[in-house]
Amino acid sequence: MRQQTLLNRTCKLSCLFCFFMTTFFLSAAFGQGKNTKDLNGEKEKAAASGKEIESNSVSFEKLLEDHPEDKSIYDDYAQTLVGERNFNGAIEVYRRALLMGDKLQNNSGTPLLEAIEEVFALKKFSEAMKKEPSWDRARKISFKGGEIVTNIPQEYSEPLVRDLGLLIREEKAMLEEILGAPKGEMPFLKISVAGRADEYKALWREKKFEPSQLSSGAYNIGKNEIVVFFTGADVRWTLAHEFAHCFLRAFYAQEPSKFLDEGLSNYLSFKLAKTGAKPILEEILGWLKDLYGEGKLKNALDLFSSWERYEQSPGTEEKMEFYMRAWSLTAFFLDGGDAFFSKFFRDYLQYELQLGPLSRKDVENYFRANFSEEKERALNAQWGLFIEKMNYENI
């Protein structure tokens, strides 16, 4: 469920935070989830030993028999059923969780009633897609600044196209507020929106994205192409993230550092399009606060050792920690720090835009040169307080 994606340095940029969309939607379709992965591990052991392999439902029922109060098991069970397109089964699992009442533990993430509403929305969209043509008959829809190719029902595509112009204008305006006047011309955006998992995976291969990076959205730098997996949920959050990658390169920095690229892209997507992604964002905030509670976010400048681990290791935890740090520090500098930290970050942004591309070591040297021990202590204290106070309403 908390699987990460990898930034491909050959300019095929797979959206890591967009992969968090899989927490509720895409993870089920592609077999993610903490308890799901645990069960898959057990199945691999069973297969290796020649034992009979249990179905997912039987395995989850056994887990619930031992831990009937654990909400994370209900979540993963329901998401697995969604991936199997058993929407009624998923709804029933969530209703069983509701019956636990105050006994339910690990009660973070999406509230149960909202989760049930989301499954109903997924079910409605899945039923609607049965009437739509295959991808080879997808239609092309023009909008100011680009075109969308899609085969999702018109009742879903029309609002999406209608919202694109406003989202693009708002994103460009916010980037200008943060980074200054844009330079360069507006790129012509080519957006592919697929509504079936198999067609989306085929599209991913066609665009030559790395299969291991499969996520709910991606941006191809060289061609200004964006691909999105549509499930019936609001995808503006995914698009806002991908637009940020695109506009940052088109108007400001052809090769932004990973810190600037991911920190700012996630900051903008949260600011501009969080309304339709509340379950996902609450889950992300839960991860962030878990890291903070585990003591992994005590020192802000550990960003750079985390960044190094992320570059060197394909492990999920290393990548998740770096992206959490990049986003939360960007949000802190722009919204939560005192006058010194706000000015520091604005100066840093201009430094990178003027002298980039910057390596991890370049960014680290700039940060450390500007922070005395006293200022670093103040940074850690203010950033920690900022994380503690973060919630869906104020991010």
Of the chain, the end-to-end C-alpha distance in Å amounts to 23
Q: Which CATH number fits domain 12-20+133-260: 3.30.1280.10, 2.40.30.10, 3.40.30.160, 2.50.20.10?
A: 3.40.30.160
Least confident stretch, 59-73, 149-163, 185-199, 204-218: 204-218
Comparing C-alpha atoms, which of 246, 236, 232, 264 is closest to residue 332?
264
Contacts of 151 (CB under 8 A, 6+ apart): 132, 133, 134, 135, 137, 138, 139, 194, 195, 199
Is the distance from CB of 191 to CB of 226 less than 8 angstroms?
A: yes
Q: Tell me, what's the pLDDT at 57?
A: 84
pLDDT, tens digit (0-9, with 9 covering 90-100), for 305-320: 999 998 888 566 787 8
Single-letter residue type at 369: A
Of 192, 191, 177, 323, residue with least CA distance to 251: 177
Task: Map out the domains of the chain as residue ranges.
Answer: 12-20+133-260, 26-109, 275-389
User: Using one digit for the tens of pLDDT, what is the confidence trace for 343-389?
Assistant: 999 999 999 999 989 999 999 999 999 999 999 999 999 999 999 99
Residue 227 DSSP one-character state: E
pLDDT of the residue at 212 = 66
